[in-house]
Amino acid sequence: MGSTSARNDGSTPESTTGGHAGPGRRDLIKRSAALGLVTVPTMAFLSACATGGGGGTSDNPSAATGEKTARNPLGVKEGAPLEAFIFKGGLGDQYAKDAEADYKATYKAEVKHTGTQQVGPKLTPRFAGGNPPDVIDNSGADHLDMNKLSTQGQLQDLAALLDAPSLDDPAKKVRDTIHPSTIEKGKHGDRFDVLYYAFTIYGTWYSQKLLDSKGWTYPKTLDEMVALCGEIKKAGLAPWTYAGKYPYYVHFNLFAQIAKIGGMEKWIAIDNLEPGAWTSNDAVRQVVEHYEELAAKKYFLAGSQGLTHIQSQTAWNKGKAVFLPNGSWVENESAPTTPEGFGMAVGALFDGGGDKMPHGTLRAEPSEPYIVAAKGRNPVGGMELLRIMLSKKHAQNFATKVKSLTCVMDATDGMTLSPGLASASKVFKEAGDNLISLQLQEWYPALTDEKIGGLTGQLLTGELKAADWIKKTQAEADKVAKDSSITKFKRTA
């Protein structure tokens, strides 16, 4: 230790307070050296905090475990505290609190709950410091990079959760109660370590009441839609609005429309960042040119490029615009401004020409990624909380509270659903197996949100032509493909 050597050099304050006029210059220098010696180890200690903590191994000796029984199949340690970090966005966090209350009652344990919109900035230092919370709803604009977390061994393998008996029927495994795409989407490689709890229906949202009152019907094809837009504009309304502040809202429709027309195989090439994946796909041209046409004909509500998602939803709620690209959380999120009897509804993707997927195809995807920290203090408890949330009781509670579906299949059968949710589950049932799921935004948010988002913003204001959008998008995708600092992922289905 450096600090002890300071005492050996004889320059401690006591030895230099003799009859002289105070310590000389040399003593002062010695003292500052001693100060330096104290400081250096302190700094070394601090650096250790920032970059030295945690290891690469995945075993977690400090994790709390208890005895496995029929009622406690994962082996939760009774009384061991649990910490949950829940994204508090469009869905709020009450549904998670309700599940935590059940956990608390069953295992007589303290549950610490944090609801936040900034999962990433708040939890990055905790992961780096080796004391992450047990359960995290890693959602929102500031979420943690799950690819990095997964590849660096920070995520608990959730296979045990999938194989545990479900809470409602001990004869059934959790695996068999949830939608298969949840398991597909939650994998990094062969390892299932992310549970997407909600099930989001993406699409074109509209007011059934408004359409009925004007005698319009939801269009089936892109051409029909453009024709209807003309009618709408003549009636003095804007056909579309969108959240220009977050252009990726437009991608909910734009990307899915490409996948529907061009087929999943070609979309997978895009997800995998294959060379020429955008430029060689004719569906890309078809869809993007269609957006160029919408922009040229001024079918977007003026000023949409400066609106937040909330502002665009409010304008839509007020009947200023007819269509809005969005996800099924919109019903809950826009509830404060939605007028009585609005008749919120969602439509399936439009047909183009020579489509690879049939009419009724829908982008429906598992969402709200829940992760359990492998190095947390109570990973088993974290999984158990998820098992509680996957029960029919909590799935129905979720549907009631936040008007959204969960990954638990058929959980809402027989319930009276709110208009938007009822419409969402109707189109979901109609779509059958024709579901689209996209990975690009999940894997490369910098590419989709910032780069392609910037291009889409310009496309929708008419500053960029479709051909340039495609060329530049391909160039940005190629840049990511070449960038060795970005972890790459591949999918086959």
Partner 1 sequence: MQHGKYRFIVGFLAPPLLIYAVFVISPFVQAFQISMTDWSGLVGAARFVGADNFVRLWESDDFWNALRHNVYMLALVPVVTLGMGLFFAFMLNVGGKRRKNEVVTGVAGSRFYKFVFFFPQVISITIIAVIWFNIYNPDPDDGMLNSLLGAVGLDGLQNAWLGEKSLALWCISAVMVWGHVGFYVVLFSAAMASIPRDIYEAALLDGAGRFHTFFRITLPLLWDTVQTGWVYMGIIALDAFALVQIMSVNMGGPDGATDVMPLRLYLTAFRDSQFGYAAAMGVAMLAVTMAFAVLTLRFARRERIEY
Binding mask 119-138 for partner 1 (x = CB under 8 A): -xx--x--xx-x--------
Q: Which of residues 431-490 bind partner 1 (CB under 8 A)?
A: 445-446, 449-450, 453-455, 457-458, 461, 463, 485-486
Could you tell me which stretch among 44-52, 216-224, 230-238, 435-443 binds partner 1 (CB under 8 A)?
44-52
Tell me the chain's radius of gyration from C-alpha atoms: 28
Q: Which of residues 391-410 bind partner 1 (CB under 8 A)?
A: none
The single residue among 138, 139, 154, 397 that binds partner 1, judged by CB under 8 A, is: 154
* CA distances from residue 257 to 203, 207, 360, 373 in whole angstroms, order as listed: 10, 21, 12, 36
- Phi, psi dihedrals of residue 289, rounded to the nearest 5°: -65, -35
227 binds partner 1 (CB under 8 A): no
CB of 121 to partner 1, least distance (A): 5
Q: How many residues bind partner 1 (CB under 8 A)?
A: 62
The single residue among 30, 187, 188, 245 that binds partner 1, judged by CB under 8 A, is: 245
Please tell me the distance from the alpha carbon of residue 424 to that of residue 293, in angstroms, as a whole number: 28
Strand partners, 137: 370
The single residue among 64, 149, 385, 390 that binds partner 1, judged by CB under 8 A, is: 149
CB of 214 to partner 1, least distance (A): 21
At position 265, the amino acid (one-letter code) is: E
Determine how many CB atoms are found less than 10 A away from the CB of residue 73.
Answer: 19
**CA 489 and chain centroid, separation:** 17
At position 178, the amino acid (one-letter code) is: I
The single residue among 73, 239, 244, 369 that binds partner 1, judged by CB under 8 A, is: 244
- Output the CA torsion sign for 431, 434, 436, 437: positive
Q: Which of residues 309-348 bind partner 1 (CB under 8 A)?
A: 311, 314-315, 320
**Ordered DSSP codes for 137-198:** E--STT---HHHHHHTT-BPP-HHHHHSBPSS-TTSBGGGTB-HHHHHHTEETTEE--EEEE
- Phi, psi dihedrals of residue 199, rounded to the nearest 5°: -125, 115
50 binds partner 1 (CB under 8 A): yes
140 binds partner 1 (CB under 8 A): no
Of 305 and 400, which CB lies nearer to partner 1 in the complex structure? 305
The single residue among 153, 165, 319, 360 that binds partner 1, judged by CB under 8 A, is: 153
The single-letter DSSP state of residue 8 is H
**Interface positions with partner 1 (CB under 8 A):** 13, 17, 21-23, 28, 31, 35, 38-39, 42-43, 46-47, 50-56, 120-121, 124, 127-128, 130, 142, 144-145, 148-149, 152-154, 244-247, 302-307, 311, 314-315, 320, 445-446, 449-450, 453-455, 457-458, 461, 463, 485-486
